[in-house]
């Protein structure tokens, strides 16, 4: 089966030639394929954020090949894989990055290791598998090369998985954790909008938000402007998740979720302010 579209997601950034070089490799092997850049702004090595970002994007893309590279283990014994999903193919490292997206595409049906030298560049660098292995594989898949030709099949149960995100209701509180931080500084949480409703939060009322032991008061709203300029708002975002934002500012900066948060344990607690001693409802 041939694919017209290839999506591309990485933590490469745009300051260097990495993304453009991979585009060039794809064009060499699949000149008729069109590439959609989902993002290249995943924080360096942030596999979980990359996985959730990719999973939230792929349902809105045309059926195709999805190449994703957030790969702090590049050059080690970690495998490169192609995942066959019900509604497309995914290519990248076997580090948990691809499985949430395969679930969003109807579920993983098979996986194959990228070992065939026929579908990679002649020389493979130990530090740039995006260029030498993953981009060529995505291109060849787009031209109709069958996934099973890339290497041995891997039992799905042996694939690496990321930890399930925390989102628990109990004792009148919602305990969760951040999933992603976007370029505006909005902090998406693992909890869903449905869980906010189950907690009994009502629009326009203040809620207590505790991040790493530091308490904040947010307004429960439907959009950013429901809170006064500069204030914190808790809302349901476009992906159906609970999210913290600042009207006209960065929630991540105010909550201390700058660089490095994704590699650390970080619990966010949300509750009606009346249930939290010492937090004013005024």
Q: What is the pTM of this model?
A: 0.90
- What average pLDDT does the segment 218-226 reach? 94
- What average pLDDT does the segment 24-29 reach? 98
pLDDT in tens, 172-184: 899 999 999 999 9
Pick the more confident residue, 218 or 262.
Answer: 218
pLDDT at position 203: 84
One fold for both 5-158 and 167-275? no
Report the share of the chain in percent with pLDDT over 90. 80
pLDDT in tens, 97-109: 999 999 999 999 9
pLDDT at position 155: 98
pLDDT at position 166: 86
Return the SS3 of 35. Answer: strand
- What Å distances lie between residue 200 and 7, 9, 171, CA to CA? 39, 37, 12
- What Å distances lie between residue 203 and 120, 194, 197, 233, 237, CA to CA? 53, 13, 10, 10, 14
CATH class of 167-275: mainly beta
pLDDT at residue 267 above 80? no
pLDDT at position 126: 97
The residues spanned by each domain of the chain are 5-158, 167-275
- Write out the two tokens for 80: 């490169």
pLDDT at residue 4 above 60? yes
- What average pLDDT does the segment 212-231 reach? 92
pLDDT at residue 223 above 60? yes
Pairing of strands 5-10, 65-69: parallel
Q: How confident is the model at residue 77 (pLDDT cuts 50, 70, 90)?
A: very high
CATH assignment, 5-158:
3.40.50.10790
pLDDT at residue 165 above 80? yes
- Write out the two tokens for 198: 């189950």
pLDDT at residue 266 above 80? no
What is the maximal distance between C-alpha atoms in the chain?
A: 67
Report the share of the chain in percent with pLDDT over 70. 94
Mean pLDDT of the chain: 92
- What average pLDDT does the segment 65-76 reach? 97
pLDDT at residue 282 above 50? no
CA angle 39, 146, 12 (to 5 degrees): 20
Do 260 and 252 contact (CB within 8 A), yes or no? Answer: no
- What average pLDDT does the segment 61-76 reach? 97
- What average pLDDT does the segment 155-178 reach? 92
């Amino acid at each position: 089966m041939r694919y017209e579209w290839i999506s591309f997601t990485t933590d490469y950034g745009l300051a260097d030639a990495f993304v453009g070089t991979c585009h060039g490799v794809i064009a060499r092997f699949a000149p008729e394929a069109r590439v959609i850049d989902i993002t290249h702004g995943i924080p360096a090595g942030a596999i979980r954020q990359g996985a959730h970002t990719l999973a939230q994007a792929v349902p809105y893309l045309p059926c195709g090949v999805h190449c994703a590279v957030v790969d702090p283990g590049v050059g080690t014994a970690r495998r490169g894989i192609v995942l066959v999903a019900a509604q497309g193919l995914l290519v990248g490292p076997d580090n948990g990055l691809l499985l949430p997206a395969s679930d969003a595409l109807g579920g993983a049906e098979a996986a194959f290791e990228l070992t065939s030298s026929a579908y990679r560049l002649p020389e493979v660098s130990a530090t740039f598998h995006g260029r030498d292995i993953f981009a060529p594989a995505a291109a060849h898949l787009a031209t109709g090369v069958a996934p099973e030709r890339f290497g041995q099949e891997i039992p799905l149960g042996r694939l690496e998985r990321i930890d399930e995100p925390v989102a628990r209701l109990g004792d009148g509180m919602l305990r969760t954790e951040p999933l992603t931080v976007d370029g505006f500084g909005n902090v998406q949480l693992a909890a869903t909008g449905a869980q906010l409703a189950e907690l009994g939060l009502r629009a326009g009322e203040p809620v207590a938000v505790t991040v790493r032991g530091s308490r904040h008061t947010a307004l429960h709203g439907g959009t950013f402007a429901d809170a006064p300029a500069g204030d914190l708002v808790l809302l349901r975002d476009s992906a159906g998740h609970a999210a913290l934002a600042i009207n006209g500012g960065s929630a991540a900066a105010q909550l201390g979720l700058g660089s490095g948060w994704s590699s650390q344990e970080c619990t966010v607690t949300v509750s009606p302010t009346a249930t939290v001693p010492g937090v004013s409802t005024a």
